Each structure stands twice: as C-alpha cells, then as structure tokens.
A and B are shown apart, each in its own frame.
Chain A
C-alpha cells in the first residue's frame, strides 16, 4: 500500500501531468493520420524525451502510446479509413453508423468505450500482474496455436450472409500474409525480386484497400451534383445517451478480459484484441443482426478491446523485461536509455516506479477522454465539407498514409491492388473483415502451427498435451458450433441467403 501511495505522488507530479497531456495531444494528432502509427509516434517523440527526467519522459511516451489505441477510430468512423491497425474492427460498425447520420454517437461511444476498456485493462494488469506474466509464459507455440484457432472462429461472426464467402475471404487474407520472408525457414516467398516485398505487405495499406477504396468507388457512382443545394454532407446526428453508454458494461468487461489476455502475449497487439472484443460483443448480444450494419455494441466491443491491451502489454515488459509489442519495445528502449531497464530487477528494486507507470497510464486515459471530446468538436468541421470534396481528398489522404507507413511505393501499389480486389468483393457481397483478420493473425497462426509441429516431430497430439491447449481447442469448438447455429438463425440456410442478397 505504501508503495502505491508513493507511486501515486510520483505520478501526480506537475511535470508528469504536463508530459502526459503533451503526449496525448501529440499521439492523437499522429494516430488520426492514416499511415502514422503508434510506433512511429513514439519514435518521433523519443529524441525529445532524452532531456526530461525519467518519469516525465515516461509520461510523454505513455501519453502517445495510449492515444494510439484510440486515435485511429476517428478516421475509421468518419471516412472508413482506419488511422492505425488498431481501428481495423472499429470501421465495421463505426462507418455504417456514420452513414446513418450517427457520427457523433459513434465517435462518443468509441471514445468512452476506449477509455473504459483501457482503464479496466490497467486495473487487471496492475492487480494481478505477476500472475498475468506467469500465465503469458505458459503459452508456448502449441498453446498459442490453440488460442489462435479459437480467435479464428471470429471470422464466422463477421462473415455476413455466407460462411463460404467469409472463409474464402479469410483464405485470401492468410495467403496475402505469407508474402515476404518465411519466418521459420528463412527463405523468401512470392517476392519475385522486389526487395521491398521481403518484409511482406503491411496491414495498413490492406485496410485502406479493403475499406476506403471500395467506399470511394461506390460513393462516386452517386456523384454528379455540383455544390450548393445538391451537395451532401456527413451527418453528426444526436449525442450518445448515458443509458446507451452504461448499458454496455458487460461488453467493456468482456473486451477488457480478452484484451488483457491477448495483450500480455508477446507480439499480438491491439487489433486481434479488437476483433475478439467485437466477436464477444456479438456472441452475447441480443441484436447480433445489427453487427456490421451499425451496431453500437460492436463498436464498443472493438474499441474497449483494443484499448484494454495498453495495460496488459506493459506486463511482460515490466515483469520479465520482454516487450509485448513494437510500441512497448520502443518505450522499453527509451527507459533503458534513461538508465531504467524494465525487468525483474527494476520491479524488485523500484516497485514504486512500476506502479506509477500504471497510474500514469490511467492518467493518460483520463486526459485522452477530455482531449478526445475536444477532437469530436473538431470533427464538426469535417462534416461541413461536402462529400464531393471530402471523398476525393480522402483518396489523397489514404495514399499519403499508405506511402508513409514504410516510405515505400510498393505499399501504395498494394493498396490499389487490394482496393480493386476489395471493390470486386464488395460488389459480390464477399465480406472484407475476414480478410483483414486473417491477414493480421496469419503470421502468428502459421508460425505457431509450424513451430509446434517442429517441436513434436510432426505429430499433432502436441496441441492437446497441455491443459491450455485442450481448453482453447474446446472453446474454439463450442464457439464454432454456437456461431454456426447463430448464423443459421440469423441468415437462414445458405441457399436462401444467396437469393436474399439479390
């Protein structure tokens, strides 16, 4: 308890609060820009923190880090362009809500859900963090694979009317994820002499290609009216009601649980947690048919899911010295440069620093709430722009973003090619979300499958040798069966589904 009080005072220092404020503002600014991700935001701000003391620079970095989990949602909702990969699941319901004239409600819900999920996630991480760290270590390749099999059942939830089409899209996503250097054997696959392809495709150009470009093409069909009276605008619509926010409390808890588990595993990151949170929200929803067409619940599940990773991802770093993701890795590097090497020694010798880190995280989230509300006011400006100007500008915005993500034109070309694919898919009602999920999870899925098989010499019983493996595979089975039943109830048998679409 004393440690907690001491760490509270460390966190409450004026300089730390100022640092967090600056970090959040800068982080939101970067994260709403497609192509600039949390990792880049942290890397950009890093050199400026060298001059500050450890806790202040930590506050700046955490501010940037936290806001990166939310910022991408704004563009995902307003212009169907996820600002960061974390917002990949936000676009599924956020953008439909915006098209229905409920942009304000969607923006507010995403912000409140983000902050709620984020704070819950920090509490989970803080209270049981030695346990979470040990739990994360129990996940070897077979256990990871079993967990991923469970996560893959999410695909069925976002498949829309036809499961076959959903899984076809997922297969495409998996295949796209195999481009680049083979993680296990080390040779290149499908590179064909283009050296930039050795690193594989990046998720952000794929998301823009899947969601933004088809939207542009479809929206351009309606064009042809010039300015003035004929112009159309995005509608902000009514504000979120408190009842709507608080009514989702189960969603926040479920998403925070999902995010805390996934976040503590090295390398998984925010977007899988967002999809899992989205899936859980749908699974337990009374109105699952609204998902993908503008469900406030889906939006809340996705945003609470990705933000709750923020706390959990700090756990392996603080307790084991192993960064949970790219952004935490940069933060860890910064701390090392400040002479504070995160890990068991730091926790043993300076526990107050570790706890104050978590408190600073919570502080950053609260700051983000206020800055975010201000940002929604700024969004009021966007809606004054008639769509005939907004959408062409989005094309430029998205292209800059696709380029900036790795300073590579290959990413821009990939964006357009996936854009063509995405448009064709949309014309034929093949869902885009399964492709995105599969692309994100693909490398983890393949690596852990192959690692497990290497470990067992090729026999598949390795997946049921541990209780974790058995548990997650059972969960996957239950989830698959339940989803199949739910799907049948929702869309009827597959044959009628095809005609119903027509």
Chain B
C-alpha cells in the first residue's frame, strides 16, 4: 500500500500546477459569513477552525461567525451544512471525522462526499499512540509483546467508535499481527475525557490527536510511542513514526479545511481558495498551528475533492475489512 501522504503530496502538486491563481473580481462577500462546525466548542477542531477564521477575516474582508452544530459524531452539522442555500454565506468547517470517515462507516448518516464541495484544506493533524509516562511499555514493540501475553486484559481508550483514532489503533493491531479482540476497547465521548481516563490509569493505551496530548506531553505526564506522519513532527522530534518502526500502513492523518454545499457559485470557491492561500502564508497563523502539534498543509479545491474521494473509498474498504461498520 502506498502511503497516504505520498498520494496527497502528488495530487497537491498536480493541482498547484493545473490551477492558475485567478484574480478576484467580484463583490462576494457583502455580508458576514457563517461557518458551521459539526463539532463541539472548545474541542481541537473547534480551536483550529476558530483560529483559522480569526486570521481569515482579514483576508476575506468580512467577519466570520463560527457556529457549532454538534451531535451524531458530526452528522448533524454536516447534514445541515450540505442542505443550506449555496450562496457562500454558510460554509462548513471540514474535518475528517464528520466529512469522510462517518459516511464511510455509517451508511445511515445521510450524506456522502459527493453531497458537498471541498474548497480547501489548510492543515493535517497527526494521530499519536500514548501511554502513561510511568508505564512499563517503553516502546511500540513492548506494547505488541504485552498485548500478545496479556490474553486480553489490557485496554485501549479513545474518542469513540467510527473515529480516526479507533481506526488508527485497529490498523496498528492489524499491522502487528494482533486481533481487535486482543485488547479491551473502551470508547469515550471526546478528547478531554478519554485523555483523563489515560491520566487516571483507567486505560492502558490511548490514541488521540497530537494537539489534544501536546500539553500532557510537554509536562511529561504521558509518552507518545508513535505518530502517524511519514516524517517526524518538527515540534515533537522525539516521537518516532509508525513507518520507521515498521508499521507503514498506520498512516492515518486527520485534516481540517473549508467545505461548502454543492452548486456554489465559482466566485465563492475562488474567493475562499485565495483566502486559504493567504492564511497559509500568514507566518503568525502557521506558528500557532505548529506549536499546537498540527501540520500546515494546503490543498486547493480540485486536489482536496480528489483527496477526499480517494480517502473515502479507502476508509469504506477498511471499514469492511476491519469489521468497523457501525450501521
């Protein structure tokens, strides 16, 4: 299997060449823009989108209101966002969980990637596998050995079924030649309570976004055994990658971007494409993102759409292979 990241890079490069940056000649936007976010306020996606929106306002020339429409693992917000008037004044904060994985694992959710228009991606979010700092498991190999000997008494907690974190851990087990049943799975509701469960010693392993764990990592409370990026993350150079530890298939990366409903006027897409490019070039924004453990990563509309399609197909296939289907 080719790594996801290489695919992404190739598509991104193609798109950059193919799409000339057009000059903006339109009166959009003439009023504030609403960004509907399918996740709760204060979560890592919320903070990422709000930070982005705060910087994007300058380049858009209009204020941006972020509105959290939560529930159903993101399904409520996306169902709303794909059905709004396509006038460019209501867009969605896009994230892998709600836009790509959820429809792949839950057929009943009511939408697919073909029901929305990707406008641009601006960051990728690595997933890390964590243990407590005082844990006996010093390395990924320790974990694999321990799981093998434990006869199913060790436990893994994360942000819930049908999330990229669950998928990451399942891919890891598969790559290590272990079965899903070898580890007790304890699903939690979000980044905060699942991290608290690890800190309190109620679960042995925890897969989460690097951003959720950054503070605890810096404080030395937890240890990250591996990260899903192809290369080590600049701000966390001590965390080895799954690939260098011999698990190249564990390459799940979350992403965040701006997504609109179908049938958007082309000027809206163009305006936002240039806004996203401008924010990407904003050094202050980039520094904030990297400080938090995310990776600045840009994709334009076409590359982003192609990427989501290929990713959606992959997750749909994986969901069936790993018996991950929810409904």
Contact = CB atoms under 8 A, between A and B. Distances in A.
Contact of B187 (A47, A184, A336, A337): A184
B187, B214, B216: residue with the most chain A Cβ atoms closer than 10 Å: B187
Indicate the member of A188, A331, A332 with the most B CB atoms within 10 Å: A188
B54 A50 contact: yes
A477 interface: no
A185 B196 CA distance: 20
Nearest to B108: A188
Nearest to A134: B200
Contact of A329 (B42, B54, B201): B42
A232 interface: no
B161 A185 contact: yes
A337 B108 contact: no
Contacts of A321: 215-216
Contact of A333 (B46, B73, B215, B221): B46
A322 B184 contact: no
A190 to B, nearest CB: 12
A186 B214 CA distance: 27
A79 B215 CA distance: 45
B140 to A, nearest CB: 23
Nearest to A50: B54
A9 B189 CA distance: 39
B215 A345 contact: yes
Interface string A50-64: 100000000000000
Interface string A321-353: 111001011111100110001111100100000
Interface string B246-286: 00000000000000000000000000000000000000000
Contacts of B42: 323, 326, 328-333
Interface string B100-114: 000001101110000
Given A138-B200, A337-B51, A186 B161 contact: yes
Contacts of B221: 344
Contacts of A345: 215, 218-219
B192 A322 contact: yes
A168 interface: no
Interface string B287-304: 010001000000000000
A180 B71 contact: yes
B71 A139 contact: no
A329 B187 contact: no
Contacts of A12: none
Contact of B75 (A43, A195, A320, A337): A195
B202 interface: yes
A26 B210 CA distance: 36
A181, A328, A337: which has the most chain B beta carbons within 10 Å? A181
A183 B187 contact: yes
A187 B292 contact: no
A351 to B, nearest CB: 14
Nearest to B219: A344
Contacts of A329: 40-43, 46, 192
B171 interface: no
A417 B221 CA distance: 48
Nearest to B216: A321
Interface string A265-286: 0110000000000000000000
Contacts of A330: 41-42, 46
Contact of B202 (A141, A183, A331): A141
A140 B200 contact: yes
Given A181-B71, A186-B161, A320-B196, A454 B51 contact: no
Nearest to B193: A266
A183 B214 CA distance: 25
A186 to B, nearest CB: 4
B41 A200 contact: no
Interface residues of A, number: 56
A461 interface: no
Interface in B41-70: 41-43, 46-47, 50-51, 54, 63, 65-70
A191 B109 CA distance: 10
Interface string B184-216: 111111001101110111100000000000111
B215 A341 contact: yes
Contacts of B47: 333, 336-337
A140 B108 CA distance: 32
B326 A198 contact: no
A187 B42 CA distance: 24
A218 interface: no
Contacts of B228: none
Contacts of B73: 181, 186, 198
A488 interface: no
Which of A46, A183, A267, A320 has the most B CB atoms < 10 Å from its CB?
Answer: A320
A330 B188 CA distance: 20
Nearest to B76: A199
A267 B65 CA distance: 25
Given A181-B71, A457-B184, A187 B326 contact: yes
Interface string A173-195: 00000001101111110010101
Interface string A304-329: 00000000000010001111001011
A447 interface: yes
A407 B219 CA distance: 40
A300 to B, nearest CB: 31
Interface string A194-209: 0110111000000000
Interface in B135-171: 152, 155, 160-162
A43 B41 contact: yes
Given A321-B216, A336-B47, 16 more contacts: A50-B54, A137-B196, A140-B202, A141-B186, A141-B202, A181-B72, A199-B76, A322-B195, A328-B42, A330-B46, A342-B215, A343-B218, A344-B221, A345-B218, A454-B187, A455-B186
14 contacts: A183-B189, A186-B105, A186-B326, A195-B79, A198-B72, A266-B193, A316-B196, A320-B199, A326-B40, A329-B192, A333-B46, A342-B215, A343-B219, A345-B215
Closest A-B pairs by Cβ, 5 of them: A199-B71, A329-B42, A198-B72, A140-B202, A186-B161
Interface of B: 40-43, 46-47, 50-51, 54, 63, 65-73, 75-76, 79-80, 105-106, 108-110, 152, 155, 160-162, 184-189, 192-193, 195-197, 199-202, 214-216, 218-219, 221, 288, 292, 326-327
